Amino acid sequence: MKTLGYAAQSATTPLAPFEFDRREPQAGDVAIDILYCGVCHSDLHTARNDWGWTLYPSVPGHEIVGRVSAVGAGVSKYKVGDHVAVGCMVDSCQSCSHCHDGEEQYCDSRVDTYNGPDKHLGTHTLGGYSKHLVVREEFVMRVPDSLDLAKVAPLVCAGITTYSPLRTWNVGPGSKVAVVGLGGLGHMAVKLASAMGAHVTVLSRSPDKAADVAALGADALLVSTDKAAMKTARNQFELIIDTVPVKHDINPYMPLLQTDGTLVLVGQVGEMPEFSSVPMILGRRRIAGSLIGGIRETQELLDFCGKTGVLPECEMIRMDEINQAYERMEKSDVRYRFVIDMSSL
């Protein structure tokens, strides 16, 4: 089945229209007409081969919302017309302990929505910057009726990547949480943590985000370049979620954690500069990492947003505006998530 998308043909070429094949739906598959696709910084890292493992042509996009157009004979959870979402994964082994625990993101055979091995077509997977998608039922999630479809897409990457650590580290009413980097992931971390009743501080390089910080539901803005303010903020936080997308120094953040506090890295994938063990040893503080979240937990997040009304701040773009959107994202000029209206393709 032919579909149309936008692909990068190399690390240095802009994304451009690209026609390619989707598999015919198999018994366990759901076929989806894509309505909206969020633009994650991982899409940009992949298109530009920042991580060194991109396969071309590359069709990014793993924040996908659409309408079911067909289902295979074995599909029981979805029917034609349902509004559904697909995030960063489209397959896993379904039999290892991680898959049994609903944590398919840590399965050794996880298949990413783009740039993963496509065992049906023998190529690599191509993502949501496209008109259609065919996915096995287990990796499809239901969008609650109460939510505005145009804003749901970022929940299934930016949302779940911050929701999962908030749940893992038991954030709830009164928890003290800080978020480093107020972009797509960061602003979802703020909204979700505050909806859970936490006291939320944003750690940003950008003092001009103060008004936004309050509007998003955070209680405080700490400008990370203000040394005096950083000093008075020591020993405060149980959890710091660090969403910065590049190699960066975490030494200034560690003393801000309480004893037993954790800084969880979700942004930079790869090398980090040296860090001092002093604040870790003196305060039994920890550094951790976290990858998206499982399908069950992502559905839990969608339902949580359905009940609380938490949704990202979106700037809608046309498909042919994607290259300018990437340029703006590189300059941190996005408040706070680009979403592609796929009817523009």
Contacts with ligand NAP, residue ranges (CB under 6 A) = 40-42, 45, 157-158, 161, 181-186, 204-206, 209, 243-246, 248, 266-268, 290-292, 329, 332, 334
Q: Which two tokens stand for residue 72?
A: 């295979």
Give the separation between CA 335 and CA 79, rounded to whole angstroms. Answer: 35
In the complex, least distance from residue 157 CB atom to Zn ion, rounded to whole angstroms: 3
Q: Which is nearer to Zn ion, 59 or 257 (CB)?
A: 59
Rounded to a whole number of angstroms, the minimum distance from the CB of residue 274 to Zn ion is 28
Burial status of residue 105 (CB atoms within 10 A of its CB: 0-12, 13-18, 19 or more): buried
Question: What sign does the CA torsion over 181, 218, 289, 105 have?
Answer: negative
Question: Which of Zn ion, ligand NAP, none has residue 184 at its interface (CB below 5 to 8 Å by kind)?
Answer: ligand NAP
Shortest Cβ distance from residue 46 to ligand NAP (Å)?
9
Which position has the token pair 């910065």? 244
User: Which segments within the chain are labelled E, that is strand?
Assistant: 2-7, 16-21, 29-38, 64-71, 83-86, 89-91, 111-112, 132-136, 141-142, 176-180, 199-204, 220-223, 237-242, 257-265, 286-289, 314-317, 337-341
| Residue 15 per-residue DSSP state | P
- Whether the Cβ atoms of residue 156 and residue 85 lie closer than 8 Å to each other: yes
249/237 Cα distance (integer angstroms): 18
Cβ atoms of residues 224 and 233 within 8 Å: no
Q: Which does 45 bind (CB under 5 to 8 A by kind): ligand NAP, Zn ion, none?
A: ligand NAP
Q: What is the torsional sign of CA 129, 132, 137, 143? A: positive
On whether the CB atoms of residues 54 and 116 are closer than 8 A, the answer is no
* Residues that bind Zn ion in the complex, under the rule CB under 5 A: 40, 42, 157
Instruction: List the single partner that 127 binds among Zn ion, ligand NAP, none, CB under 5 to 8 Å by kind.
Output: none
Residue showing the smallest CB distance to ligand NAP in the complex: 183
CA atoms within 13 A on the CB side of 98: 15
Q: 115 or 204: whose CB is closer to Zn ion? A: 115
> From the CB of 188, what's the least distance to ligand NAP, in Å?
8
- Please identify, using beta-carbon distances, which residue of 42 and 130 lies nearer to Zn ion: 42
State the minimum distance, in angstroms, from the CB of residue 177 to ligand NAP: 15
- Minimum CB distance to ligand NAP, residue 247 (Å): 9
Shortest separation between residue 43's beta carbon and ligand NAP, angstroms:
8
Closer residue to Zn ion (CB): 7 or 75: 7
107 binds, among ligand NAP, Zn ion, none (CB under 5 to 8 A by kind): none
> Of 204, 200, 144, which Cα lies nearest the Cα of 172?
200
Provide the minimum distance between the beta carbon of 88 and Zn ion in the complex, in angstroms, as a whole number.
6
**Residue 185 binding partner per list ligand NAP, Zn ion, none, with a CB distance cut-off of 5 to 8 Å that depends on partner kind:** ligand NAP
Q: Which is closer to ligand NAP, CB of 57 or CB of 87?
A: 87
The helix or strand, by DSSP H or E, that contains position 187, with its residue range, turns out to be helix 184-195
- Judged by beta carbon distances under 5 to 8 A according to partner kind, the member of Zn ion, ligand NAP, none in contact with residue 204 is ligand NAP
Any idea of the CA torsion for 209, 212, 214, 220, to the nearest 10 degrees? -20
248 binds, among ligand NAP, Zn ion, none (CB under 5 to 8 A by kind): ligand NAP
Q: Which is nearer to ligand NAP, 236 or 290 (CB)?
A: 290
Give the residue with the Cβ less far from ligand NAP, 152 or 157.
157
Residue with Cβ nearer ligand NAP (99 or 189): 189
